[in-house]
Amino acid sequence: MKKKLVRHCLIILIIICSLSSNGYAQDPAAVKLVLRSSPWHLPEGTALSALSSQKTTGTFRVPSDSSSFTIKMHVNLKVDNSSKTILNIPGVLKVTAFQYDVRDRKGQNYPAYPMHDGSVPVLEAALRLYPPGEPKGARDMPVGIPFGILKNPEGGHEVVLHFSGVRWTLYVDNELLDNDFALGYPRWGKESTWEINSSLASKAEIFYPGIEPQRVALKKPRFSNEIQYWTPQGHNAWVGDVATFFYKGRYHIFYLFDRRGHGSKFGKGGHYFEHISTTDFKTWTEHDAATPIEEQWETIGTGTPFIFNNRLSLSYGLHTTRIYPKEQTLLPLQWDYYNKHGVTGSFRYDTIAGYPAGSTYSISEDGISNFRKTKILFHPCENPSVYTDPDGHLRMLANYGAKGTWGSESIDGGWRSINPNFPPGGDCTFFFRWGNYDYVIGGFTGFWSKPADAREDKFVNGVKEGLDFYNGMNVPAVTQIGDGRFLLAGWVPMVGWGGSLAIHEMIQYPNGRIGTKWMEEIMPSTQKERSLTKEIKETSSFVTGSSSFLLTFDVVPGTDLAGKLGILFLGAEGENHSCEVQIAPKAKKAQYGKGQTGNFSGPEKSLREGGSPTGARNYAIENLAGTDKPFTVRIIVKHDDKFGGSVLDTEIAGQRTMISFRPNLKVERLVLRKGNTGIKNVRIAALKN
């Protein structure tokens, strides 16, 4: 008996060890992201002027227009259909409360947090700035929140508004809830007057210069319990372009933090690289920003992490030409140097007159995070993709403002053109080698491959052959991790130039072709699975029971080349905003299309045919693999009020994936239909989060 017990225990131990032998735990419920988020505290200071319910107006003098200021006030928020001014500094600042259009998600995305009755009351602070060289003169820069984002919306709240000269930030009850990046300064005049509405504000103080709020250290950190389809905290905070790297057992994700879908800094973007990482794909850590915005002229473009001199570094572009004409930047200086010497120069931009623009990089002080800017301009392109090739040579693919492949012995200048015509410019191209093949993929289109031992001019355009692996992610980044695995990461477009994070695993076939599948370690956690039906014999409808779920079913392809199946996802408005996933196994095509209750959706185009997978709405993919024999389809539907719709993520035969975002869709019902194709074992499991 004891021997049997020992044998059984040993078998169980072997099974457990085999599940974790690849270094990655398999429990899908364990994923969490430890956040850097914390409350904020405003240190004590002497107010320049103070108002109260007894003294609702006042005057003060500001010695300079180009400095910081802070306003601290106590407000009493009330849901009201009328617009009311809470605080006003004529010609400088107006703080208001008003009802917002529940259908308008542009910019601030206020409808992400409605009240129980569906209304969207808003608190907003609009600062009037005078951007340099702006033909329109003054512009108002609003920061704000929907009441619904607060735990107790109505009632008393402490509101802090802080203008640092670079950032314009709103804090409510010690939480940073919105910010923007300044262009220009307010004009105070010789003497400023201000006033508060005593029915909504009981106290207001202005500090000049401003008092910088300080983080409050937490004994127990905050965390998010998901990474797939994750967005940063906030009603208007999104993931933009992604750059990834694997170094000393740690997978790094650098992403351009986006508010307002590229609308920050008066539409100039105001992007910068935030940073998260993991060593086991279960516990993730949010680090300090790798490239924080520290000057008004800064707005940052995509780059790549790389290793040089055994140091983890991050290249990125300075998109200063969005703000100032090229002639006022350091780009002419850099191009003049290159044209004269045949290689690029190295310029410390903090020592030269003119606005910095072009390629620069930051260095990690500890090999994990703690990045510092070098302030060195090494190339005039504004989206540098720097990497070390498999032979150890430093290379760069030039994007936005330049093109081609470049090489150098040092990151700090000396870059020479190696292949001036490939890649042909554009946005965010990335190189990677996998086994016997080299690949270059663009941010939105363009995919090339060649045998690793072939010359640089032998890259073949995979898009023309329909062999690309674009799947709805924007600016996909590819990185090899442990055990020879490769990951594809990008963002799903939801609002302008931002959306949610997505990560899939890649597959390579012997002929060099690449497919994608879900990464099991980061799968969203689900409730208990339930069966909907053993077999679909005729068009059938099912209630989902949840707006976020995992749908799984098996497909028997049949022999008909025209055979296909469709899964229609319907919300409360029926066909309006609906979506169909359609798969034609023998034709080796799949698509997202506009849903129809009475029939299959019409045909969509693949990237080769002129479609737009990176639009992540309606599109097709072709040349499916593994659909000639019975296969499994898995579809995750993730709804979130912040999204204003649902993400649909489909995996076909474990070898191809495709993602779509469906605005205004909250799935309530499924319709499954088939045409000479079998559908069996239909199961559904609600997502836990």
pLDDT single digits (tens) 452-489: 999 988 999 999 999 999 999 999 999 999 999 999 99
Yes or no: say if 127 and 90 are a contact pair by the CB < 8 Å rule. Answer: no
Query: Distance (Å, rounded) from C-alpha 280 to C-alpha 586?
Result: 38
pLDDT at 15: 38
**Is the pLDDT at 5 greater than 50, yes or no?**
no
pLDDT for 121 equals 98
27 pLDDT higher than 60? no
Distance (Å, whole) CA 285 – CA 592: 34
Per-residue pLDDT, 29: 58
Closest CA to 413 of 429, 438, 396: 396
Q: What is the pLDDT of residue 293?
A: 97
393 within 8 A of 407, measured Cβ to Cβ: yes
Q: Are strands 49-52 and 486-495 parallel, antiparallel or unpaired?
A: unpaired
pTM above 0.85, yes or no: yes
Task: Reply yes or no on whether the pLDDT at 22 is more than 60.
Answer: no
Distance from C-alpha of 363 to C-alpha of 314, rounded to nearest angstrom: 6
Distance of CA 685 to the CA centre of its chain: 27
**214 vs 425 pLDDT, higher one:** 214
pLDDT in tens, 399-416: 998 999 999 999 999 999
Of 474, 470, 514, 422, which Cα lies nearest the Cα of 608? 470
pLDDT by residue (tens digit) across 54-101? 999 999 999 888 899 999 999 999 999 899 999 999 999 999 999 999
As a residue count, the chain comes to: 689
- The structure tokens listed for 408 are 């150098």
Q: Residue 49 corresponds to which tokens in the numbers above?
A: 């002027």
Q: For residue 166, what are the contacts with CB-CB under 8 A and spacing of at least 6?
A: 181, 182, 293, 294, 295, 296
pLDDT for the residue 456: 84
What are the tens digits of pLDDT across the range 158-210? 999 999 999 999 999 999 999 999 999 999 989 999 999 999 999 999 999 99
The predicted pLDDT at position 134 comes to 73
Question: For residue 12, what pLDDT is reported?
Answer: 39
Domains and CATH numbers, the chain: 46-210 (2.60.120), 238-521 (2.115.10.20), 529-686 (2.60.120.560)
